[in-house]
């Protein structure tokens, strides 16, 4: 199954019956898949007039408590920025998929990870976060979609799948026997008072600054809890690692090959693969920093996650960047070379 289609099928398995999209490479397969499947299962697929309209349709369905999603690619996600901020301000659960492409501007259509900051720091205006999940296999594209819906509902916020063109276009076997937790009760939803309760209001306007401050404090209490309890990552050969690679998505797959090769050459290198980009897995990096003497951040960007790695280890060890951009993908050889240079620099050191 294609990565994009795995996301779509997993969303349906997770109980999502509403999808709003707009054509943009490299994620249009998600929309096409939903266009075929939703009508067959009593769901709603609608192609919106723009990504802005699509995210606001998501806002509408989310207000009624039903599971809903949209997907796009980098420029489309920029258009959804205001909507993402409104979803956060109104504490609405939703799933948003970004199959990244090279940027900035119209950029390219090849894979990229240059929306890392956009996803983890500035999806839109105001203090808010999104749960950002980074799959690095088609199986994870499916599993993290279900996980995304569950986390979004549990914490009343947006969960974003941050994939890239390769993940979306890649075909791999997928086990779709995903178990889905039941949806929580949503008393706050606007489904009509049925004349038996006061009206619910879904809103992010608080002209009274004290009230607006309070909503921010409460939201950040939830974010703190999420940071402490929902962080996800994978470690690979880090127990004895003197050099640790930080990489997610496609960059992690490339790095694994390079690590195996480097190990053959006697270099003690390992990898920490963040699965949640927010909340960022600080703990494993901090632990690794006790032993490791250097870190390498392998990214398809000009260096964005590298900042989180430095923050996680309080700059205790040097973190170098190994990257390609614009749609170019770092090769295992390039990563191996970066490992060898780092090892050499350490070699000289001790």
Partner 1 sequence: MVVFDKPHALTDAPLHYCPGCTHGIVHRLVAEVIDELGIEGQTIGVAPVGCSVMAYNYFNCDMIEAAHGRAPAVATGVKRANPKENIVFTYQGDGDLASIGMAETVHAAARNENITIIFINNAIYGMTGGQMAPTSLPGQVTQTSPYGRDVNHCGYPIRVCELLSELEGPEYLARVTVNSVKNIKAAKAAIKKAFQNQIDGKGFSLVEVLSSCPTNWGMTPQKALKWIDEAMIPYYPLGVYKDRSAKEEAK
**Residues near partner 1 (CB under 8 A):** 18, 20, 44, 46, 48-50, 52-54, 56-64, 66, 68, 82-83, 86, 90, 190-196, 199-205
Question: Which CB, 97 or 163, lies closer to partner 1?
Answer: 97
Query: Would you list the DSSP string of 226-279?
Result: HHHH---EEEES-TT-SEEEE--HHHHHHHHHHHHHHHHTT--EEEEEESEEES
Question: Which CB, 54 or 325, lies closer to partner 1?
Answer: 54
Query: Would you tell me how many other CB atoms lie within 10 Å of the CB of residue 144?
Result: 29
Are the CB atoms for 255 and 245 separated by under 8 Å?
yes
Q: Rg for the chain (alpha carbons), in Å?
A: 21
d(CA 24, CA 13): 24
d(CA 221, CA 247): 28
Are the CB atoms for 98 and 72 separated by under 8 Å?
yes
3-state secondary structure of 312: helix
Least separation in angstroms between residue 122's CB and partner 1 is: 17
Question: Which CB, 176 or 202, lies closer to partner 1?
Answer: 202
Least separation in angstroms between residue 50's CB and partner 1 is: 6
d(CA 310, CA 185): 40
Least separation in angstroms between residue 130's CB and partner 1 is: 17
Question: Which CB, 196 or 350, lies closer to partner 1?
Answer: 196
Least separation in angstroms between residue 15's CB and partner 1 is: 13
Question: Which CB, 34 or 162, lies closer to partner 1?
Answer: 34
Least separation in angstroms between residue 150's CB and partner 1 is: 19
Question: Which CB, 196 or 229, lies closer to partner 1?
Answer: 196
Least separation in angstroms between residue 64's CB and partner 1 is: 4
């Amino acid at each position: 199954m294609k990565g994009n289609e795995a996301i779509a099928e997993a969303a349906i398995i997770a109980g999502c019956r509403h999808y709003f999209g707009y054509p943009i490479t490299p994620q249009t397969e998600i929309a096409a898949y939903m266009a075929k499947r939703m009508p067959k299962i009593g769901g709603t697929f609608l192609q919106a007039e723009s990504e802005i309209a699509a995210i606001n349709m998501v806002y509408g369905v989310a207000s009624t408590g039903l599971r809903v999603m949209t997907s796009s690619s980098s420029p489309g996600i920029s258009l959804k920025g205001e909507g993402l901020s409104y979803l956060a301000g109104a504490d609405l659960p939703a799933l948003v998929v970004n199959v990244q492409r090279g940027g900035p501007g119209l950029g390219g259509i090849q894979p990229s990870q240059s929306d890392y900051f956009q996803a983890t720091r500035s999806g839109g205006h105001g203090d808010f976060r999104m749960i950002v999940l980074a799959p690095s296999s088609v199986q994870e594209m499916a599993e993290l979609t279900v996980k995304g819906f569950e986390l979004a509902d549990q914490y009343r916020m947006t969960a974003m799948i941050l994939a890239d063109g390769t993940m979306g276009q890649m075909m791999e076997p997928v086990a779709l026997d995903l178990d889905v937790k039941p949806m929580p009760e949503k008393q706050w939803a606007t489904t009509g008072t049925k004349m038996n309760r006061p009206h619910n209001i879904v809103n992010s306007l608080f002209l009274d600054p004290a009230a607006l401050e309070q909503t921010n404090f409460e939201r950040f209490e939830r974010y703190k809890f999420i940071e402490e309890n929902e962080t996800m990552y994978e470690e690979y050969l880090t127990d004895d690692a003197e050099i640790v690679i930080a990489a997610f998505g496609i960059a992690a797959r490339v790095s694994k090959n390079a690590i195996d090769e480097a190990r053959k050459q006697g270099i003690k290198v390992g990898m920490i693969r963040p699965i949640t980009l927010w909340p960022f897995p600080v703990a494993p990096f901090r632990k690794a920093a006790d032993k490791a003497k250097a870190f390498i951040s392998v990214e398809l960007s000009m260096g964005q996650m590298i900042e989180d790695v430095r923050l996680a280890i309080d700059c205790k060890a040097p973190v170098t960047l190994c990257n390609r951009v614009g749609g170019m993908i770092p090769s295992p050889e390039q990563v191996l070379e970066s490992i060898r240079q780092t090892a050499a620099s350490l070699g000289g050191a001790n």
